[in-house]
């Protein structure tokens, strides 16, 4: 028996910002959930189950948020699940929700990813001392900087490619009213002149710390057919993982990433991603990860991804493969939501509802998230038409 | 498109604050630091590893499947899910597989002057790297493949800890080629 066709019926986001001091975590999630329900023209009673995801408990110090959030998210008397796969969690949360529809367990599922970074300190929550090694790593940037250095070394990419990605994504963000960073007067020179934090990563090439939540309502084929607004149909879903340190590991292009991409493209019947995908939302918390993932995912040849940045292929302004039209993680990073934002923005593109950052006539789009030490991967492909 | 700054319609009703607290300044946040103190009981291989540091020795574990050497030893080859029992003593020399020049201070490491170099150190005879501080040269002299050697604490200060190695300094030997540096030197048969 084949899987039930699954559709994105509604998307809801909060305005991403450094501090949402006016709401609790529950209030933040409820805001995104209400918007997703309004977009789907559904009420709380019509939801069968709720699937939420957020970053490690250490970040905000809220243990088991699924217990605390059940009432605010209308989950009393219904199943509520919490998913956890580090930074990729927003993506894998959406995929767990989708699997509840695909398996015909439920007909309509609400899924939410969230983070309130203003109530946490993610960098130091990721730098906990371990008794058997020296305490020397400074947060995610400290971990990813050597991998970026390795990519630069092996690809021979010009030094300012990362700055070009950062500048491009901040330009895209100006077209997205939900984006955290709206730097109207930012110049490329300012991006380049920004201080080094984790050489070769500049401050301007890192993601901000954001508060925010993103929600989606997913439904089965009948719900998709009956929806008032356009829906996005799920064409493929895949997740993979691997250890972060083993002999022969390719840290720049992890095996799990390649396997995950191969699986999701096979499900969607896509053999030439660059030609067949119209819009891409990939998880780029540090600028250089745009060319690195374009290569790993098969949109570019190995060691040539940076050329797509340099020649403007990935820009919304006339590029052949616009990447992160929303401004991406580099412009908004509520960590637990960031993956789901990628998936939701991919859905908005094929629904034709992305507003000023819409890719004209987008029919198929790609959503991506990764987490841990580039260990967890989740991906989906959504289309305007049924698969 | 809806205005992202105004609440969704279903949440737009005004919140009624009870009269008893209506005139007070709202509490926006409460800072509550969390500290967790715990006893770490190392597994037998890690105990052996940490004890050997007090004799200025670094131990690894060799996989019975393909001979790959892991450091620190954990008693298993996680790739194949098999136990490892064979310890090997490793050199305190190796190369920089990769590195980061960090410009941020780390809590609890007030002794580190920024910027400092944290590097993946790949010991001779080991097939994975571990993190270490590189010093004894200018930061911009550090490069992928640079040969380094451990600088140990004085004998009387040695304990059962990886912190016995103060930092890694350049040896001046010819560098390892970039394509052979770090984890990349190991062929991956399960591709």
| B:67-96 residues touching chain A, CB 8 A cutoff | 68, 70, 72, 78-79
Kindly give the pairing relationship between strand A49-54 and strand A108-116.
parallel
Q: Does B111 reside within a domain?
A: yes
Q: To probe the interface with A, which of B4, B35, B122, B123 has the most A CB atoms within 10 Å?
A: B4
Neighboring chain A residues of B103 at a CB cutoff of 8 Å: 195-199
Tokens, residue A344: 């939701």
Q: Report the mean per-residue pLDDT for chain A.
A: 95
Nearest by CB to B186, from A137, A149, A247: name it.
A247
CA B94 from chain centre, in angstroms, equals 17
pLDDT on residue A33: 98
**What element of type H or E holds A58?**
helix A57-60
Q: B142-181: per-residue pLDDT in tens? A: 999 999 999 999 999 999 999 999 999 999 999 999 888 9
With CB atoms and an 8 Å threshold, state whether B104 touches A243.
Answer: no
Cβ pairs bridging A and B (under 8 Å)? 151
CA B119 from chain centre, in angstroms, equals 9
End-to-end CA distance of chain B: 46
A31-45, A53-67, B85-99: range with lowest mean pLDDT = A53-67
- Taking the CB of residue B151, how many other CB atoms lie within 10 A of it? 14
Which chain A residue is nearest to residue B7, measuring alpha carbons?
Answer: A31
**Where do the structural domains in chain A lie, given as residue ranges?**
7-121+208-226
Strands (E), A142-288: 196-199, 201-202, 211-219, 232-241, 279-281
Q: A107-131: per-residue pLDDT in tens? A: 999 999 999 999 887 777 777 777 7
Neighboring chain B residues of A124 at a CB cutoff of 8 Å: 107
pLDDT on residue A43: 96
| Matching CATH number, A7-121+208-226, of 3.30.300.170, 3.40.47.10, 3.40.50.720, 3.90.1170.50 | 3.40.47.10
Neighboring chain B residues of A12 at a CB cutoff of 8 Å: 8
Neighboring chain A residues of B65 at a CB cutoff of 8 Å: none
Q: In terms of residue numbers, what domain contains B65?
A: 44-184
Strands (E), A272-357: 279-281
Q: A235-289: per-residue pLDDT in tens? A: 999 999 999 889 999 999 999 999 999 999 999 999 999 999 999 999 999 999 9
Q: A146-177: per-residue pLDDT in tens? A: 999 999 999 999 999 999 999 999 999 999 99
Q: Quickly state the pLDDT bin for A14 (edges 50, 70, 90).
A: very high
Q: Does B19 reside within a domain?
A: no
With CB atoms and an 8 Å threshold, state whether A199 touches B101.
Answer: yes
Strand order in the sheet with A364-371: A80-83, A49-54, A108-116, A211-219, A7-13, A232-241, A376-383, A364-371, A279-281
Tally the domains of chain B: 1
Closest-CA distance of chain A to residue B21, Å:
17
Q: Is B77 left (phi over 0), alpha (psi -120 to 50) or beta?
A: beta
Q: Does B21 reside within a domain?
A: no
Q: Interface pTM (ipTM) of the complex?
A: 0.89
With CB atoms and an 8 Å threshold, state whether B183 touches A31.
Answer: no
Which chain B residue is nearest to residue A57, measuring alpha carbons?
Answer: B34
**What element of type H or E holds B165?**
strand B165-170
Cα atoms in the 13 Å half-sphere on the side-chain side of A18: 3
With CB atoms and an 8 Å threshold, state whether A198 touches B29.
Answer: no
Cα angle at B107 between B123 and B137, to 5 degrees?
45
């Amino acid at each position: 028996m084949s899987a039930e066709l699954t559709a994105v019926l509604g998307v809801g986001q909060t305005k991403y910002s450094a501090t949402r001091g006016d709401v609790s975590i529950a209030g933040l999630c409820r805001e995104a959930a209400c918007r997703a329900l309004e977009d789907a023209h559904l009420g709380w009673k019509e939801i069968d189950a709720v699937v939420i995801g957020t970053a490690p408990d250490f970040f905000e110090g809220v243990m088991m948020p699924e217990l605390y959030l059940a009432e605010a998210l209308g989950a009393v008397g219904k199943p509520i699940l919490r998913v956890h796969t580090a930074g990729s969690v927003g993506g894998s949360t959406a995929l767990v929700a989708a699997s509840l529809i695909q398996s015909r367990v439920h007909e309509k599922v609400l899924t939410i990813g969230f983070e309130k970074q203003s109530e946490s300190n993610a960098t130091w929550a990721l730098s906990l001392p371990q008794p058997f090694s020296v305490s020397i790593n400074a947060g995610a940037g400290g971990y990813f900087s050597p991998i970026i250095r390795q990519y630069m070394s092996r690809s021979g990419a010009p030094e300012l490619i990362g700055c070009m990605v950062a500048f491009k994504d901040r330009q895209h963000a100006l077209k997205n009213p939900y984006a955290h960073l709206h730097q109207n007067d930012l110049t490329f020179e300012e991006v380049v002149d920004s201080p080094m934090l984790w050489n070769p990563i500049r401050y301007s090439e890192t993601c901000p710390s954001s508060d925010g939540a993103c929600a989606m309502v997913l439904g089965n084929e009948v719900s998709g057919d009956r929806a008032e607004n356009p829906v996005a149909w799920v064409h493929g879903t895949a997740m993979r993982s691997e250890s972060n340190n083993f002999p022969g590991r390719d840290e720049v292009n992890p095996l799990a990433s390649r396997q995950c991409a191969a699986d999701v493209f096979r499900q969607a019947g896509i053999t030439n991603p660059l030609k067949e995908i119209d819009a891409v939302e990939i998880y780029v918390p540090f600028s250089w990860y745009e060319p690195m993932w374009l290569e790993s995912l098969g949109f570019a040849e190995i060691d040539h991804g940076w050329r797509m940045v340099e020649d403007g292929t990935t820009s919304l302004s006339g590029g052949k493969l616009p990447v992160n039209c929303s401004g991406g993680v580099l412009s908004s990073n509520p960590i637990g939501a960031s993956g789901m934002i990628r998936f939701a923005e991919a859905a908005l593109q094929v629904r034709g509802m992305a507003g000023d950052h819409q890719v004209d006539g987008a029919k198929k789009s790609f959503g991506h998230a990764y987490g841990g030490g580039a260990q967890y991967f989740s991906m989906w492909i959504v289309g305007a038409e049924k698969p | 498109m809806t205005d992202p700054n105004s609440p969704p319609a279903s949440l737009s009703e005004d919140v009624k604050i009870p009269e008893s607290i209506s005139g007070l300044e709202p509490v926006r946040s409460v800072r509550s630091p969390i500290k967790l103190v715990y006893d770490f009981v190392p597994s037998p291989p890690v105990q052996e590893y940490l004890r050997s540091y007090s004799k200025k020795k670094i131990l690894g574990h060799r996989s019975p499947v393909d001979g790959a050497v892991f450091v620190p030893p954990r008693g298993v080859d996680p790739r194949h899910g098999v136990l490892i029992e064979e310890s090997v003593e490793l050199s305190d020399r190796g190369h920089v597989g990769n590195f980061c020049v960090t410009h941020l201070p780390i809590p609890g490491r007030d002794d580190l002057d920024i910027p400092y170099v944290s590097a993946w150190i790949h010991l001779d005879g080991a097939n994975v790297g571990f993190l270490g501080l590189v010093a004894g040269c200018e930061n911009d002299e550090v490069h992928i493949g640079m040969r380094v050697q451990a600088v140990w604490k004085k004998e009387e200060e040695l304990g059962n800890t990886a912190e016995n190695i103060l930092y890694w300094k350049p040896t001046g030997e010819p560098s390892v080629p970039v394509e052979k540096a770090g984890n990349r030197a190991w062929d991956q048969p399960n591709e």
